[in-house]
Amino acid sequence: MKLGFGSATAPVASGPVCLQCGTAAPSTTMTFCRRCGLPYGAPPRVEAELPSCPTCYATVGDDGRLPSFRPARGRIDLVEHMVEHEDNPVGDDDYLETLRRGDRIVIDRWEAPFDLVRRYLVTGAIDGGRRRDFQHSAIVTAMSQLKRWGPGADLFGDQAEWKLARDAVTTLMERYHRA
Ligand SMILES: [Zn+2]
Ligand SMILES: [Zn+2]
């Protein structure tokens, strides 16, 4: 991850942003977010569901903001945060895109849902919400096992297929995070 010092990117001068849904105002003359009915720049309502960054999956805080990659900038809105990812990528997404086939990702001889794998590479977490859809994927099994036991574990009742898939996911993880 690059540090912000000496970065070519000037401080972001984005327009008004709704802190509740993380969306930039379509024009600078608008003062309210049409979607939320909230003034731009106002803190989100207490009960609001807060937006997350599609790149690093971080959810904004109660103030509708995230910490900047450059500490001197303090907390910034989601639009500024997403611009900062141009200089602060979470991994090699160009490489990951070369493995993408539609909404799937091909890893060696297996495939799995692209978003599920990317989220695992970035956060180490597996969203089990739709587990039923991908319970037959060796890659999903491998990610679950790696999350639980880590790489190189000796698993009781292990299958050669799972071990190969775990090695493939571990290799992909290293490749994705290589600077
Ligand atoms: Zn809004
Ligand atoms: Zn992010």
Backbone φ and ψ for 122, nearest 5 degrees, come out as -85, -45
Which ligand has an atom closest to residue 51 CA? Answer: 1
CA of 46 to the centre of ligand 2 (A): 22
All residues at 6 or more sequence positions from 133 whose CB lies less than 8 Å from its CB, including other chains:
113
Ramachandran category for residue 14: left, alpha or beta (phi over 0 → left; psi -120 to 50 → alpha): beta
Instruction: Indicate whether this model's pTM tops 0.75.
Output: yes
Which ligand has an atom closest to residue 84 CA? Answer: 2
CA of 48 to the centre of ligand 2 (A): 20
| Residue 107, H or E segment | strand 104-107
136 vs 157: which has the higher pLDDT: 157
For residues 174-179, average pLDDT: 91
Which ligand has an atom closest to residue 48 CA? Answer: 1
Beta bridge partners of 107: 110
CA of 60 to the centre of ligand 1 (A): 13
Which residues lie at CB < 5 A from ion ligand 2? 53, 55-56
Ramachandran category for residue 150: left, alpha or beta (phi over 0 → left; psi -120 to 50 → alpha): left
CA distance 106 to 3: 32
Per mean pLDDT, which range of 12-21, 34-43, 49-58, 145-154 is the poorest?
12-21
CA of 21 to the centre of ligand 1 (A): 4
| Closest among 166, 172, 177 to 143, alpha carbons compared | 166
CA of 26 to the centre of ligand 2 (A): 21
Identity of the amino acid at 76: I
All residues at 6 or more sequence positions from 117 whose CB lies less than 8 Å from its CB, including other chains:
105, 107, 139, 143, 169, 172
pLDDT tens per residue, range 76-106? 999 999 999 999 999 999 999 999 999 999 9
All residues at 6 or more sequence positions from 174 whose CB lies less than 8 Å from its CB, including other chains:
none
Q: Are 72 and 84 in contact (CB under 8 A)?
A: no
CA of 61 to the centre of ligand 2 (A): 13
